[in-house]
A and B are shown apart, each in its own frame.
Chain A
Amino acid sequence: MISLQLVILVVAISMIGLWFYFFIRNKIIKQAHSKRLQILTENVEMHQSQIHIRDKGLDTYKFLRYNLAEALVIQPEIKL
Chain B
Amino acid sequence: MNLKSNIIFFLSFLCVVSLSFSQETLKNPDSSLAALKEAPEDTSKVMLYQRIAGHYNIVHLDSAKAFAEKGIQLADEINFSFGKLMNLNVLGNYYERKTDYENAMLYYNEALDIAKATNSTKGFAVILNNIATVHIRKGDYQIALPLLFDALKAEEKLGNENGIAQAYNNIGVVYYYMQDFDKTTDYLTRALEIQEQLGNFSGLQNGYNNVGAIFDYQKKYDEAIRSYTKAYDISLELGDKKQQASNLSNIALSYSKKGDYKNAETYFTRSLQQREEVKDYNGLASTYANFGESLRAQNQFQKAQMYLKKGLEIAEKNNIKLSAREIYHSLSKLEKQKNDHEKANEYLYKYIAVKDSILNEKNAQIITETEAKYQTEKKEKEILKQKAQLIEKELEVKRKNTMFFGSLGLALILGLIGYLFYNQQKLKNRQLQKESELKEALARIETQNRLQEQRLRISRDLHDNIGAQLTFIISSIDNLKYGFTEISDKLSNKLSNISGFTSQTINELRDTIWAMNKSNISVEDLKSRITNFIEKAKQASENANFEFYIAPEISEEYTFTSVEGMNIYRIIQEAVNNSLKYAEATLISVHISEENNQFKIEIRDNGKGFDAAKAEQGNGLNNIQKRTRDVGGTIDISSDPAKGTSVVLNIPFKSLE
Contacts and interface: CB of A to CB of B under 8 A. Distances in A.
Q: Is the pairing of A and B real?
A: yes
Interface of A: 1-4, 7-8, 10-11, 14-15, 18-19, 22, 25-26, 29-30, 33, 36-37, 40-41, 43-44, 47-48, 50-51, 54-55, 58, 61-64, 66, 68-69, 71-75, 78, 80
Query: 9 tightest A-B contacts by CB?
Result: A11-B409, A22-B420, A33-B431, A47-B445, A40-B438, A78-B453, A72-B460, A47-B449, A58-B518
A70 B147 CA distance: 124
A63 B518 contact: no
A78 B457 CA distance: 11
Given A29-B424, A51-B452, A69 B464 contact: yes
Contact of B435 (A25, A37, A51, A58): A37
A33 B435 contact: yes
Interface residues on B, range: 35 or more
Contacts of B442: 40, 43-44, 47
B239 to A, nearest CB: 41
Given A44-B441, A47-B445, A74-B460, A4 B413 contact: no
Contacts of A1: 395, 398-399, 402
A72 B456 contact: yes
B456 A74 contact: yes
Contacts of A10: 409
Contacts of A19: 416, 420
B650 to A, nearest CB: 24
Contacts of B448: 47, 51
Q: In terms of DSSP, what is the predominant structure of the interface of chain A? A: helix
A48 B445 contact: yes
Contact of A78 (B416, B449, B517, B532): B449
Given A37-B434, A58-B517, A75-B453, A64 B420 contact: no
Nearest to B439: A40
A44 B507 CA distance: 36
A11 to B, nearest CB: 3
A33 B436 CA distance: 12
A64 B531 CA distance: 12
Interface string B366-405: 0000000000000000000000000000010011011001
Nearest to B509: A68
A40 B463 CA distance: 36
A44 B457 CA distance: 22
B493 interface: no
A19 B412 CA distance: 12
A62 B448 CA distance: 25
B423 interface: yes
B517 A54 contact: yes
Given A22-B423, A58-B518, A80-B454, A66 B416 contact: no
B591 interface: no
A31 to B, nearest CB: 11
A47 B439 CA distance: 13
